[in-house]
């Protein structure tokens, strides 16, 4: 969603463009300064009536025109090395976005740069340009800012108007990968410890780039733990220590143009400050770093991912995430579906180019894709028996929210969210998951006949993002699992226990459009050396999150789980009434949470889990003090 400032800027440029279109100034007419011949209009009749020719030069990349109304590709130049002359004939009376698809930029196998003129990247070619040629001159990409600028102001050409701004990623990219539900769901392997003692399980993981087959018949370059995306699953036990040793095999500059440094964070882990993966505690390429996790916390669905300052977005987008599932004897005794009937599902959205390469644009408002993956498989199918299954669902997307529901409308049962089991199952027909939120659910397929199917849908999506995966019932099996009436008792924190209330305002940075931080907390961009809060070890506090922007911000707190007191003044729904580590703060809304800072002193962070928001300074350091 646009902020009021963005809306103002859009209207300002539209008015400016309307003035230009009325004036119909000559595009690079006689006497062009600097001797440039670009931007000239050829006589009427050279092109086809009802169309115009757009031409120019680019240094190497492919030049692409996309119909802004249909989001479909309207034309592209051929790829070439060195300086490339492009020319394409486009129908008039339409609005277009122009893109550069640049291969090999700063180590990135494929990146898309929208062509901007000021704040405008949508251009309407009116019937005034029928049969004419519009010369953009040399289109120079800005490889750091993700935009490009033509040598000539095409808005000064007769028949060309500014049409505003479109931040979406059009499906000239690979798209949904053909017919959905044709690929079997990939289930990440459970990693075997490299060594074990009476108290500790130790794991060795190699972080590296790898070529994997996500799209049938094509290889996609990813960066992942052990070369997998998602990485291998860690299954840990409460009270039994885990040591994860990560050897960084990435190059100095890796995919997305990001540095090869990493900082691994156990998301949801209650760990000492030294083991938390603070954004500046980086592991250089070629180095190995061991993280020790005590696992002295309630069992839950956790996940591990990179957390490098400024580059979490591209690192996760290209594959650096994996499940970490913590269990205990009490949970085992409940009789919930387990073994082959307990399946982790990491839902992510991604973009691919026509060669199957991942495309990352670095959109500071949050990266979204037009292709839905589950466990790295595009819209997969899973063959199930007519019985109960337990699914540990993770929204692993950089930004996208999902409202998950079954296509036949049948209910499913919520066991818990990020912090583990609820006091009792909650039956729902749909559930919204913001980025980084998890849902532990049970789906009962026993009422479905063999040969039938049901789709897990995303009602917040459309087209290729509306369907997530399909369950195909292909057999009958005896089901000995249970769905207990009660799960785990909950220690309910009371506002009366809080020794202090703190307020944090999430907003857009005032200098964001002028090279400053686009996203801030309490008006300040993240500074790893500045302490923004200092809760005392062992105390309970209330934190109030105020969202003063027109975008949602899923707020994630390190060090401890919390409980939601209220959202916009109302108690949380039963599904959200347990322990959590991420809460969606709605646009222009307010959320209050309560938590106890136990066990570990030291520095931690609070941040928005839209990854491009945290990468662009929407983060705050807090120190738990003795």
The answer to whether 195-475 and 495-624 have equal CATH topology is: yes
3 state DSSP class of 410 = coil
Determine contact, residues 44/92, Cβ cutoff 8 Å: no
- Determine if the pTM surpasses 0.75: yes
Determine contact, residues 441/393, Cβ cutoff 8 Å: yes
User: Which CATH number fits the domain 495-624, given the four candidates 2.60.40.420, 3.90.420.10, 3.40.50.150, 2.30.140.10?
Assistant: 2.60.40.420
Query: What whole-number distance in Å separates Cα of residue 610 and Cα of residue 472?
Result: 33
Q: What is the pLDDT of residue 170?
A: 57
Q: What is the pLDDT of residue 14?
A: 40
Run of H or E including 611? helix 611-615
Q: What is the pLDDT of residue 410?
A: 97
Q: Which two tokens stand for residue 548?
A: 């003063």
Give Cβ neighbours of residue 244 (< 8 Å, ≥ 6 apart). Answer: 203, 205, 234, 264, 290, 291, 293, 304
Q: What is the pLDDT of residue 148?
A: 82
Give Cβ neighbours of residue 491 (< 8 Å, ≥ 6 apart). Answer: none
From the list 380, 348, 458, the residue with the least C-alpha distance to 180 is 380
Q: Which two tokens stand for residue 493?
A: 């924190």
Q: What is the pLDDT of residue 7?
A: 42
Q: Work out the angle at residue 396's Cα, subtended by the Cα atoms of residues 394 and 400, and round it to the nearest 5 degrees.
A: 110
Run of H or E including 540? strand 540-547
Give the residue extent of every domain in the chain: 4-162, 195-475, 495-624
Backbone angles phi and psi of 207, in degrees to 5: -90, 120
Query: What whole-number distance in Å separates Cα of residue 20 and Cα of residue 544?
Result: 48
Query: What whole-number distance in Å separates Cα of residue 497 and Cα of residue 186?
Result: 45
The bridge status of strand 231-237 relative to strand 321-327 is parallel
Neighbours of 30 (CB within 10 A): 6
3 state DSSP class of 129 = helix
Q: Work out the angle at residue 344's Cα, subtended by the Cα atoms of residues 340 and 347, and round it to the nearest 5 degrees.
A: 145
* The three-state (H, E, C) secondary structure of 69-88, written as one string: CCCCEEEECCCCCCEEEEEE
* The three-state (H, E, C) secondary structure of 145-212, written as one string: CCEEEECCCHHHCCCEEECCCCCCCCCCCCCCCCCCCCCECCCCCECCCCEECCCEEEEEEEEEEEEE
Side-chain half-sphere of 185: how many Cα atoms within 13 Å?
20
Classify residue 581 by its DSSP letter.
S
Q: How far apart are the first and last CA of the chain?
A: 42
Give Cβ neighbours of residue 556 (< 8 Å, ≥ 6 apart). Answer: 267, 436, 581, 582, 606, 607, 608, 609
Q: Which two tokens stand for residue 362?
A: 């670095």
Query: What whole-number distance in Å separates Cα of residue 396 and Cα of residue 348?
Result: 5
Backbone angles phi and psi of 464, in degrees to 5: -75, -10
Chain segment 60-89, per-residue pLDDT in tens: 677 888 887 766 678 878 666 667 788 899
Backbone angles phi and psi of 317, in degrees to 5: -55, -40
**Does 230 sit behind a cis peptide bond, omega within 30 degrees of 0 on the bond before it?**
yes
Strand-by-strand arrangement of the 51-59 sheet: 83-91, 51-59, 133-142, 147-150
CATH superfamily of 195-475: Cupredoxins -  blue copper proteins (2.60.40.420)
| pLDDT lower than 70: segments of the chain | 1-49, 60, 70-72, 78-82, 102-112, 143-146, 167-178, 510-516
């Amino acid at each position: 969603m646009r902020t009021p400032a963005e809306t103002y800027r859009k209207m300002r440029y539209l008015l400016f463009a309307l003035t230009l279109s009325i004036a119909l100034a000559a595009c690079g007419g006689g006497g062009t300064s600097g001797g440039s011949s670009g931007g000239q209009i050829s006589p009427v009749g050279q092109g086809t009536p009802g169309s115009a020719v757009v031409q120019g030069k680019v240094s190497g990349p492919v030049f692409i025109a996309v119909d802004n109304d249909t989001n479909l590709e309207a034309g592209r130049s051929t790829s070439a090395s060195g300086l490339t002359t492009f020319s394409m004939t486009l129908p008039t009376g339409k609005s277009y976005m122009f893109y550069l698809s640049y291969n090999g930029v700063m180590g990135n196998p494929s990146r898309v740069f929208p062509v901007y003129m000021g704040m405008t990247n949508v251009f309407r070619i009116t019937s005034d340009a029928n049969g004419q040629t519009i010369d953009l001159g040399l289109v120079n990409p800005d490889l750091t800012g993700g935009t490009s600028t033509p040598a000539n102001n095409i808005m000064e050409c007769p028949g060309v108007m500014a049409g505003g701004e479109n931040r979406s990623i059009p499906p000239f990219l690979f798209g949904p990968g053909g017919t959905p539900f044709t690929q079997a769901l990939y289930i990440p392997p459970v990693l075997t410890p490299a060594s074990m003692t009476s108290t500790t399980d130790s794991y060795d993981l190699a972080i590296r780039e790898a070529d994997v087959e996500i799209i049938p018949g094509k290889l996609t370059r990813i960066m992942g733990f052990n070369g997998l995306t998602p990485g291998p699953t860690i299954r840990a036990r409460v009270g039994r220590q885990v040591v994860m040793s990560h050897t960084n095999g990435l190059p100095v500059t890796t995919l997305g143009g990001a540095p090869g440094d990493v900082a691994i964070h156990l998301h949801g882990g209650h760990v000492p400050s030294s083991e938390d993966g603070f954004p500046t505690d980086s592991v250089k390429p070629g180095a190995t770093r061991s993280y020790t996790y005590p696992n002295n916390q309630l069992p839950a669905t956790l996940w591990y991912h990179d957390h490098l300052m400024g580059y979490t977005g591209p690192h996760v987008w290209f594959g650096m995430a994996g499940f970490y599932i913590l269990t205990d004897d009490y949970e085992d005794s409940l009789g919930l579906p387990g073994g082959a009937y307990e399946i982790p599902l990491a839902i992510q959205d991604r973009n691919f180019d026509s060669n199957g390469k991942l495309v990352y644009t670095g959109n500071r408002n949050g990266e979204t894709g037009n292709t839905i993956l589950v466990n790295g498989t595009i819209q997969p199918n899973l063959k199930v028996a007519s019985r109960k299954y337990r699914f540990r669902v993770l929204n692993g997307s950089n930004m996208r929210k999902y409202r998950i529901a079954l296509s036949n409308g049948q209910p499913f049962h919520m066991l818990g969210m990020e912090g583990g089991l609820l006091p009792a199952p909650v039956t729902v027909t749909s559930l919204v998951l913001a980025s980084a939120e998890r849902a532990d659910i049970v789906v009962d397929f026993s009422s479905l006949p063999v040969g039938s199917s049901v789709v897990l849908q995303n009602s917040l999506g459309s087209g290729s993002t509306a369907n997530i995966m399909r369950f195909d019932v292909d057999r009958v099996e005896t089901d000995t699992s249970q769905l207990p009436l009660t799960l785990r008792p909950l220690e309910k924190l009371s506002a009366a226990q809080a020794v202090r209330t703190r307020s944090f305002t999430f907003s857009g940075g005032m200098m964001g459009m002028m090279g400053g931080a686009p996203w801030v907390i309490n008006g300040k961009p993240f500074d790893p050396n500045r302490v923004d809060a200092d809760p005392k070890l062992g105390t309970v506090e209330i934190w109030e999150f105020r969202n003063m922007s027109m975008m949602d911000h899923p707020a994630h707190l390190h060090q401890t789980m919390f409980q939601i007191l209220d959202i916009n003044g109302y108690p949380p729904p039963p599904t959200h009434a347990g322990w959590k580590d991420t809460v969606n703060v709605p646009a222009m809304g307010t959320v209050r949470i309560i938590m106890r800072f136990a066990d570990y002193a030291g520095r931690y962070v609070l941040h928005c889990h839209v990854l491009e928001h945290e990468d662009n300074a929407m983060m705050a350091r807090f120190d738990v003090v003795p």
